[in-house]
Structure 1
Amino acid sequence: MSNAWSLYVIVLVVLNIGGCAWLLWWTARRRPGDPAPEETSHVWDGDITEYNKPLPRWWINMFYLTIAFSIGYLAWYPGFGNFPGLSGWTSAAEHDAEKARRDRQLEETFAVYAGRPLEQLAQDPQAMELGRSIFANTCAACHGSAATGAPGYPNLTDDVWNWGGAPERILETVLDGREGIMPPLGNVLDGMGGDVAITQTAAYVRALRSDDIEATLRNDYMAARGKKYFDGLCVACHGVDGKGNQELGAPDLTVRETLYPNTLDSIRTTIIEGRHGVMPAHRELLGETRSRLVAAYVWSLSNSGQADSPPGRQ
């Protein structure tokens, strides 16, 4: 908080406290010429009279004590702008102390799983229950409670991995995050053939997912024409055969399980505007051991056979 805002807060607090004290003092006094409490002249039904009696002295004194308490409270705790308070207490320090205490409890709970290989953790029912809980609290917002993903968010239950599905690769993704960028190519293709070139490239990309690419290209003129644009612009990341590059996070374009809808319009949008996918890093949020547990759970979703097998028979 800047000094100006701090002064503003202090002035407001002082004015409010002073205003309360003045109002209490002013309204508690009786002045010469004031009517007696019984002489308000407010009478109803002949015998119901409104009085104007002051509050009892003990009640007024309680209000004064409340004002005195508020002054002491604001002096002891940081209530006057940037003034730290005589006690030195801060909500941030209390939060940090509580967080440290909770972190120590978590470390004790998860210590038994520290450093264990993901394949071993995937065979431990209790570890998987913890991993499932961590996933529900941390990952389900993007990947869904069933981990089947959504447009732009990968399905974690299949065997399609843009960055690799090996246990340690998944752990790297959880710990340090990933950033996948598909650059926009609309302007480039505009200079090579305009909107037709974009559509032809999209048609070729869609054809890569067919069971027989050669037959598809023979029967689809647009897809066949799009191959030259793909070879000129896309192979650097996705490879000559379109199977992608897990080191770059470039997806395999030959699989049916796509990150975005497998429609011509969706593919055109990707080519024209590009895509930017970010998986945030969780190293600071979860720490090494909890990241290992959730990574083991994610790995088990697409490797249930190996996760269920006894050690040494994977």
Structure 2
Amino acid sequence: MSDFTSGFWSPYVAGLTIVGILGCLLLLWVTSRKKVPASADNTTGHVWDEDLTEMNNPLPLWWVWMFIFTVVFSLLYLVAFPGLGSYEGKLNWSTRAEYEQEMATAKKELEPLYSQFTAKKVEELSGDLTAMAIGERLFMNNCAQCHGSDARGGKGFPNLTDGDWLHGGSPEKIAESITKGRKGNMPPMGAAVGGADDVKNVANYVLSLSNAPHDSVRAQLGKSKFTACAACHGADGKGNTMMGAPNLTDDTWLHGYGEQAIIAMINNGKVNEMPAQEGKLTAAQIHVLAAYVWGLSHKGPAAKP
């Protein structure tokens, strides 16, 4: 309950919980004192399905005491463990601490398995069948949600099987991207470029850089306005891996292709983020995963494990 955004909700939840438990006790007390008039044959007079008659028998004592024990246990549980709003409990137990402990135990148990790979370079490791089988599982569990099970990505998610890399495709850069994550930010550039007509001209100039279908007249007019974009993409439009600025001269379009898509990008900008994995994976796991990702775009004969 530590994610409450208002101080109101914690006492509200705690109060509702306590009232619910006390309500159960009150219900038991009221029903135990209420006497239902019964006839001479000890029935209440209620009959269902023609011949099912309700008897006027008290609850079994074992059931009553089990009910009371359950209520008392719930109160003790709420004292020891979280459950009353933001109250953390006397034992200071939390799902996060439990998760972190389990992860630490798992990493310790897996350490001998990964130790055989840490001394090998990424290029060498990418040919190890055993390491790549492990790398594939790491990829499926941590990367496939965005990049796809085949690593070919999709709109807004880079294809990892080609040679196009926003931040560099060397083993070191791949490991750095996995470890620290990446934050891409293209600010809206419409105002810097000029009016709507200027934006359209620049869009056509960008299309001309990769020999894509474009309006040559507009492209020529947009060339001078491209200087607003050259600070990141370079005067030649080939991008800048230090900044994560895409190469505009190839045929890779991460966020959509065509005049309208480029116009929308210039006017609206784009913010993308790849989450860092250093808190989830060990250095050895990242090393194996980097080798797997590097190998996706550097296909070659795999060595025997």
TM-score range for the pair, normalised by the shorter chain length: 0.7 to 0.9
Which structure shows the bigger proportion of residues in helix conformation?
Answer: 1
Structure 2, gaps ≥5 residues long? none
Structure 1, gaps ≥5 residues long? none
Shift of 1:17: 4.1
SS of 1:277 mapped into structure 2: strand
Question: 2:41 corresponds to which residue?
Answer: 38
Question: 1:204 corresponds to which residue?
Answer: 205
2:293 is equivalent to residue 298 of structure 1: yes
TM-score w.r.t. the length of structure 1 is 0.80
CA spacing shift, 1:53–1:269, aligned 2, 3 Å: same
SS of 2:155 mapped into structure 1: coil
Question: 1:27 corresponds to which residue?
Answer: 31
Give CA deviations for 1:85-121 in whole Å, capped at 9, x if unaligned.
4xx2623443433232122123333222225311121
Q: Could you tell me how far apart the structure 1 residues matched to 2:196 and 2:146 are?
A: 33
Contact kept? 1:37, 1:52, Cα under 8 Å: no
Q: Could you tell me how far apart the structure 1 residues matched to 2:244 and 2:46 are?
A: 86
Contact kept? 1:130, 1:293, Cα under 8 Å: yes
SS of 1:234 mapped into structure 2: helix
Shift of 1:61: 3.9
2:266 is equivalent to residue 271 of structure 1: yes
- Find 1:289's aligned residue among 280, 284, 287: 284
Question: 2:223 corresponds to which residue?
Answer: 227
State the percentage of identical aligned residues. 40
CA spacing shift, 1:273–1:51, aligned 2, 3 Å: closer
SS of 1:158 mapped into structure 2: coil
Moved more, 39-48 or 293-302: 39-48
Contact kept? 1:143, 1:149, Cα under 8 Å: yes
The CA RMSD measured in Å over matched residues stands at 3.4
CA spacing shift, 1:135–1:3, aligned 2, 3 Å: closer
SS of 1:159 mapped into structure 2: coil
- Find 1:153's aligned residue among 144, 157, 172: 157
- Find 1:84's aligned residue among 77, 85, 89: 89
Question: Aligned ranges for residues 120-159 of structure 1 at < 5 Å?
Answer: 120-159=124-163
TM-score w.r.t. the length of structure 2 is 0.82
Number of residue-to-residue matches in the alignment: 297
Shift of 1:258: 2.2
2:275 is equivalent to residue 280 of structure 1: yes
Contact kept? 1:167, 1:299, Cα under 8 Å: yes
Q: Could you tell me how far apart the structure 2 residues matched to 1:203 and 1:55 are?
A: 83
Shift of 1:14: 4.8
Give CA deviations for 1:261-289 in whole Å, capped at 9, x if unaligned.
33111111122222222222211121211
Contact kept? 1:156, 1:302, Cα under 8 Å: yes
2:181 is equivalent to residue 177 of structure 1: yes
Q: Give 1:170's aligned amino acid.
A: I
Q: Could you tell me how far apart the structure 1 residues matched to 2:176 and 2:118 are?
A: 16
SS of 1:94 mapped into structure 2: helix
Q: Could you tell me how far apart the structure 1 residues matched to 2:89 and 2:50 are?
A: 61
2:104 is equivalent to residue 103 of structure 1: no
- Find 2:171's aligned residue among 167, 189, 203: 167
Contact kept? 1:206, 1:262, Cα under 8 Å: no
SS of 1:283 mapped into structure 2: coil
CA spacing shift, 1:177–1:8, aligned 2, 3 Å: closer
Give CA deviations for 1:108-153 in whole Å, capped at 9, x if unaligned.
3322222531112101111111111111111111111111111221
